Structure 1
Amino acid sequence: MAMDEDDTAAAPLLTSRKAKPAKPPSIDELIEACIGDTGALQLLRAVLVAFAWAFDAQQVFISVFTDAEPRWRCAGSAGSNSSCTPAAAAAVPCALPGGTWVWDRPARTSVVSEWALQCAGPALVSLPASSFFAGCLAGGFLLTTLADSLLGRKKTLLVSLASMSAAGVLTALAPNIWAYAALRFVSGFARSVVGTCTLVLSTELVGRRWRDVVSVAAFFCYAVGFLSLPALAFALREASWRSMYFWMSAPCLCYAVLLYFVAQESPRWLLVRGRTQEAVQTLRQIASLNGSSSTATTSFSTLHACSVREEAGASGGGVFATLRMMSARPWAIRRLAAIMVAGFGVGMVYFGMPLSVGSLGPNLYLSTTYNALAEVPSAVLSWLLMARADPRASVAALAASAGACSLACAAIPRGAGAARMAAELASFLATCAAYDLILIYAIELFPTSVRNSAVGLVRQAMVLGGVAAPALVALGRERSVIWSFGVFGLAIGGAGLFAACLPETRGRTMSDTMKEEEERNEASCTSTTPIAKHGGRDLV
């Protein structure tokens, strides 16, 4: 009798141990099994997608040359022109009588000289650049969810590239400053999702092992695009500023046509959207390039049987359904808020530092080259840190280093030019690495169903920081560098601390749905603290 009671008492425990069902393979595991090891041809296709960042960089920084105010000099000889004395020449040219001074180069080389904006005031002269960033903000908030909902990664990228190229070609035909500013707004609007779609699509086309490599390849492509600007501007230094826009936009349009025929849609996005047949066709194509088509039959059969259910309302809720899905989950909002705050501080310094250092020397082409070269070691550093270190600690450490160097710039006296220059470059290099890491980290923090939207919002936070930077730079020039470098240092140092609130992602697979991410984090919390129970509301 006692034995029967003991058996009865033990039975539920034994049953509970055996009743735990085996966890089905995730989409990430199935895709890895289908495509096999990423081969050289598929990796090359992913890098080709990443090259879109080169054209993105060109559109961001082209106004450094097209909107620059050229140098000028007094007309005639010093003795024959009494109105243009050396003292008067130190002032702005609009303070001198007409005909007493001339531009050093043809007026067509800059919008300022062609449309006589030297006396128009800073508001009008900076209007095209401000319009471009305003377009980036508007486009980011309105278009960022299209790649997660209606169009997908590839179509959104192609439409953005084509629209950006067309706007650039039309900009070369602008008849006045108002049309020019309007077309720069359109360029910014179209360009707003290029970087996000490129980064997400390129990393979703390769296996887990190569994601960091492809991400860093995109950052290298950005540096290449940045470096190409001073080279092309120097080659066209006597030509019209319109030539710059044409030669930056026409190749981008050709690249978009090439991408249409070469690039594949993200198989992850196709599966999450329930388009299994298209996903299988894409995976077979990738597997064929990787040389593993004959060994993945079982995996493809499993994938055919796999039913991926989207969160309620995702398929029919419009382009903002992904944002509603995140807002309904406090853990997602906390993650998004923390990384957006970190991105805001990093973006303020990333876009503001070149404006404040702007002149590493009197030569505009050389100064821009120095700024662009800082992107190269930062890409290598971000790759090493992403592969070997905790991304939370890396972002926080880089932000603290950039902040300390920026504060050092404010403390170093003006006479120590070399020391100030070294501190500026060190701060910018650390900021570039933090910028790259935050974008890669954001990809790993959010599942496929909302990934493009989340990364797009993080980039918008960075652009918003860039919008605030010019005002600080102007204050720093007018009053004291405390207002520029001092505020930059405090902003990036404080914002970087928010990265420490985010979860660890190194070495783990990417989730595809919000439910899968919740289950994964709940299991992680349970394994870390087995006594306490964690619900979805407790996820970080």
Structure 2
Amino acid sequence: MDYDEVTSFLGEWGPFQKAMFLLLSLSTVPNGYAGMAMVFLADTPEHRCQLPYLNASWQQHSLTLNQSLPLEERGAGGQWALSRCQRYRRANGTGTGFSNSTEGCLDGWDFDREQYESTIATEWSLVCGDSWKVPFSLSVFFMGVLSGSFVSGQISDRFGRKVTLFVTMAVQTVFSLVQVFSVSWVMFCFFFYLVGLGQISNYVAAFVLGSELLGKSSRVTFSTLGVCVFYALGYAVLPLCAYFIRSWRVLLAVLSLPGLLYIPLWWLIPESPRWLLAQGRVEEAEAIVRAAARKNGVTAPAVIFKQYEQQGINDHSVDARYTYMDLVRTSKMRNITFLHAAVWFIITISYFGLSLSTPNMNGDPYLNCFLSALVEIVAYVAAWLLLKVVPRRVVITVPMLSGGLVLCLIHFVPQDYSVLSVVLAMAAKFGITASLSVLYIAAAETFPTVVRGMGIGICSMASKTGSTIAPFFPFLGVYDKTLPYIVMGLMTLVAGLLSILLPETRGMPLPQQVSEVQTLNWFCTKCKPAEEKKFPEEDGRL
């Protein structure tokens, strides 16, 4: 029987649904700034070699600095500026005269302190030969996210959505606080990896739990105006905090402490009845639904899930233990898994590549970061409105293709029109963000309940593999600011074309078993019967 039909007596938007909507959405706020905080924690200000023998300060007249620092060409425009990583050797090793030969910054670096009091780049001199450590730090974080996505998906389907949600929230909060006391870059990266274990895993667990707790009509609203908008609100808080807090340690502490406020939610958020039913725990599922009915002021039937209990006894599905192999065991399930993974991998590179590029954009980095978050909020609202009238696949494909095309156009914008480049980048961010939010909905509505946590976990793993690569895209902007946009644009176009194959899930009930999974939207409709005939085992679980 249809779970939504059985629990229809609860109503669609009562006090219980409103409370779950708000509480689960609030749990995603820290996710908005946890990963993106590296935009400010690891930003590299202007720097140059220390010149102790000249007692040179950062504001010293450029004529004096020209005697001790060579010029270097920066960017594709051929602009010349004082070298960041080289200095002239002193003549005969002493005195104030200089030879024409150069040397590295043997005495360290002087950093411009006008914008930042400290970042990890200034504290541990992650510049010049060690500049690769800045994007690698964020890649380490996303490696943790990747590992967490793999583990949390199976934990979610084996031990429950609620347990996964709060364990990953605790991991993120505790290790973020410990990370504040890092005494070296290696220690910082180690704890950043542990923070990553819980970061997006928490978001995915909240998303899956909300999708299964809420009714059909409010599920789309939760997936866009709920977790996505609250994630973007957390992202918008980041530049506001960073503007007033210029020390990376204090900023990280301020961003980590709010995680302790989520402890009371353990007693307010229940387990997913859908998951409990899939595990054969009918009495626990009924208890949660009856508690929801009391909160909504409605009377529950004497027996709610008797049909589920009888069905479980007949087919023994409750005794089945599902693993990641069930995501590729049948052809339909395999096609869905690989297609979602490919699209998520590509689109996440563009999403994080644009988000992390805000310091490289022209203008104030705090304002650019805030505008990027504001664009996300508008994109989520637009996606919510569009989903009311158009199919899921349209809202995924069209904005994705448009965003990829806009990114490719940035290359043709003259340097004098830098504001236009920022506008185009934000327009591309709008389309990519809207598509990404609907991808979450499509995944939740495509993967069946018995493997939904693992299915979205695989999607998250694919996306975090992409996000592990993404930090190096803005790093390329140091040499040519348009190159990252061209590469991300072409990749986004490929993802948009692949998304056309996704099955349409609008108006469809959430599948419970693997046998209920849809086929891909093949261009050749004649392929469908042949495929089903070739794999008859797809009609039921192996």
TM-score, normalization: structure 2? 0.83
The 2-side partners of 1:400 and 1:170 are apart by 42
Aligned-pair CA distance for 1:323: 1.5
In 2: Cα distance, 1:154 partner to 1:400 partner: 36
Task: State the alpha-carbon separation in 1 of the partners of residues 241 and 25 from structure 2.
Answer: 22
2:535 alignment partner, SS class: helix
- What per-residue deviation string (whole Å, max 9, x for no partner) do you get for residues 44-99 of structure 1? 22321122221112111111111112356951763699357696673227746859
Superposed CA deviations along residues 503-533 of structure 1, whole A, max 9, x for unmatched, are: 2211121121223x15xx59x99xx99x979
Partner deviation per Cα, 1:271-315 (whole Å, 9 max, x = no partner): 1011111101111111112221x2x21452646754436987885
Aligned position for 1:215: 223
Gap change, CA 1:125 and 1:397, over 3 Å in 2: closer
| Amino acid of the structure 2 residue aligned with 1:278 | E
Confirm or deny that 1:152 pairs with 2:156.
Answer: no
User: How far did residue 480 of structure 1 move?
Assistant: 7.1
Counterpart for residue 90 of structure 1: 82
Q: Are the equivalent residues in 1 in contact too, given 2:124–2:185 (CA < 8 A)?
A: yes
Contact 1:42 1:289 in 2 (8 A): no
Equivalent residue in structure 2 for 1:297, among 301, 313, 325: 301
Match of 2:3 in 1: 27
Instruction: Provide the residue aligned with 1:68 in structure 2.
Output: 43
SS at match of 1:116: coil
By how many angstroms is 1:367 displaced?
A: 1.8
Q: Classify 1:145/1:309 alpha carbon distance in 2 versus 1 (closer, same or farther; 3 Å).
A: farther
Equivalences for residues 104-119 of structure 1 within 5 A = 104=113, 109-119=118-128
Match of 1:20 in 2: none
Question: Is residue 193 of structure 1 aligned with residue 201 of structure 2?
Answer: yes
Deviations 1:487-509 (A, max 9, x none): 21221111122222122211121
CA deviation after TM superposition for structure 1 residue 437, in Å: 0.8
Look up the SS of the partner of 2:470 in the other structure.
helix
Q: Which runs of 5+ in 1 are unaligned?
A: 1-24
CA gap 1:79/1:199 in 2 versus in 1, 3 angstroms: closer
* Change in 2 beyond 3 A, CA 1:390/1:299: farther
Find the aligned partners of 1:532 and 1:98 in 2 and give their Cα distance: 72
Q: 1:118-517 counterparts in 2 under 5 A?
A: 118-149=127-158, 151-216=159-224, 217-237=226-246, 240-255=247-262, 257-292=263-298, 294=299, 296-298=300-302, 300=304, 302=306, 305-308=309-312, 315=319, 317=321, 321-475=322-476, 477-478=478-479, 481=482, 483-515=483-515, 517=516
Residue 190 of structure 1 deviates from its aligned partner by 2.2
**Is contact 1:360-1:370 (8 Å) kept?**
no
Does the C-alpha gap of structure 1 residues 310 and 508 become closer, same or farther in structure 2, counting only changes over 3 Å? farther
- C-alpha displacement of 1:360: 3.5
Deviates more, 1:117-126 or 1:163-172: 117-126
Inter-CA distance 286–153: structure 2 relative to 1 (3 Å threshold): same
Residues 268, 368 of structure 1: alpha-carbon distance in 2 compared, 3 angstrom cutoff: same
Gap regions ≥5 residues in structure 2: 49-55, 71-80, 88-104
Q: Distance in 1 between matches of 2:11 and 2:61?
A: 79
How far apart, CA to CA, are the structure 2 residues paired with 1:287 and 1:121?
59
Preserved contact between residue 359 and residue 367 of structure 1 (Cα < 8 Å): no
Aligned mates of 2:126, 2:58 — CA distance in 1:
23
State whether structure 2 residue 33 is matched by structure 1 residue 46.
no
Distance in 2, matches of 1:53 and 1:389, equals 27
- Report the Cα distance in structure 2 between the residues aligned to 1:301 and 1:479, rounded to whole angstroms: 61
Instruction: Quote the Cα distance in structure 2 between the aligned partners of 1:446 and 1:473.
Output: 34
CA distance in 1, matches of 2:179, 2:349: 27
Question: For this pair of structures, how many residues does the alignment match?
Answer: 498
Distance 1:234 1:311, change over 3 A: farther
* Same amino acid, percent of matched pairs: 25
- In the alignment, which residue of structure 2 is the partner of 1:59? 34
Structure 1: distance between partners of 2:176 and 2:317:
37
Q: Point out the more displaced range, 69-78 or 373-382.
A: 69-78
Is contact 2:358–2:369 with CA below 8 Å preserved after alignment?
no
In 2 relative to 1, CA 480–208 (structure 1 residues): closer, same or farther, beyond 3 Å?
closer
Instruction: Report the residue type matching 1:61 in the other structure.
Output: M
CA–CA distance in structure 2, aligned partners of residues 359 and 140 of structure 1: 30
Q: TM-score with structure 1 length normalisation?
A: 0.84
